[in-house]
Structure 1
Amino acid sequence: MENPYVAYQKNIETIDSKEELLLKTYEEIISLLNIAIMSIEENDVKTKAESLSKVTNVLSVLKASLDFENGGEIARNLDKLYDFCMEELLKANLNNDKELIKNVIEVLTPVYEGYKEAFKKAK
């Protein structure tokens, strides 16, 4: 298994901007949510729990990084959205509920796509 610090260093060297980091973060969230869904289907409780835990941790970091002073309504809406997602993932983990995870993917995907489009236009 690769040293986590080495893996981090490899990844951070390939990221050119904060925007790219945010997009990669959302891509990883969606990937982990899909892994959690497959884990439920395969009755792999450990992988499901680990995947959902990682996503919840990342959402907590995203939530903590919101700038309410400069972000205004967008920051407030993202704050509520991240809270909603974390609550849904907690319920999904407790109840092995794939549909709740799918709902989170459906909520986060448009945010990801919006960021992606905004960053593309800003270039």
Structure 2
Amino acid sequence: MAVFNPYQQYQQNSITSAKPGQLTLMLYNGAIKFIKTAILGMEKKDIGTANGAVIRAQEIIRYLDHTLDPQYEISQNLSSLYDYIYRRLVEANINKNAAVLEEVVSMVEELRDTWMSVLKKTS
């Protein structure tokens, strides 16, 4: 028997009813959350948590990269940036280096903040 979780249902409804711009914002926020979870995991020497969180952040960054429309010049620039972030996430995970994750999370936060500004101007 499945247990009803109202929070999960709310979260699922938020995702399925969100506009594409809002979905991108949710993805940035998710990546930030997972990177910060990985940082805490590394600080606590909880390698399993850190590894899982970094992998989730990598998946989000790869998804963002794959959804870019190559006909726009900015997509090429973003793709290069996403590739750099992805490689740094891999490096941080291999070396268990929270400092690299701190660098990456600030980059993703800047992307998120820029995206929020765009959404506000176009809404």
Structure-2-length-normalised TM-score: 0.87
* Equivalent position amino acid for 1:41 in 2: E
Taking the aligned partners of 2:96 and 2:90, their CA distance within structure 1 comes to 10
The whole-number CA distance in structure 1 between the counterparts of 2:3 and 2:53 is: 18
Q: Size of the alignment, in residue pairs?
A: 118
Relative to structure 1, the CA distance from residue 104 to residue 2 in structure 2 (aligned partners, 3 Å threshold; closer, same or farther) is farther
Partner of 1:36: 38
Q: CA deviation at 1:2?
A: 7.1
CA distance in 2, matches of 1:39, 1:65: 29
Where structure 2 has 5 or more consecutive residues not aligned to the other structure, the ranges are none
Hey, what's the Cα distance between the residues in 2 that align with 1:2 and 1:58? 28
Q: Aligned partners of 2:70 and 2:53: how far apart in 1?
A: 29
5 Å matches for 1:56-95? 56-69=58-71, 71-72=72-73, 74-95=74-95
1:96 is aligned with what amino acid? Answer: K
- CA distances 1:37-63 after superposition (whole Å, capped 9, x unpaired): 000010101111100001111111111
Structure 1 length-normalised TM: 0.87
Residues 1-123 of structure 1: pairs in structure 2 closer than 5 A = 7=8, 10-14=10-14, 15-69=17-71, 71-72=72-73, 74-123=74-123
Q: Where does the alignment leave 5 or more consecutive residues of structure 1 unmatched?
A: none
Percent identical: 22
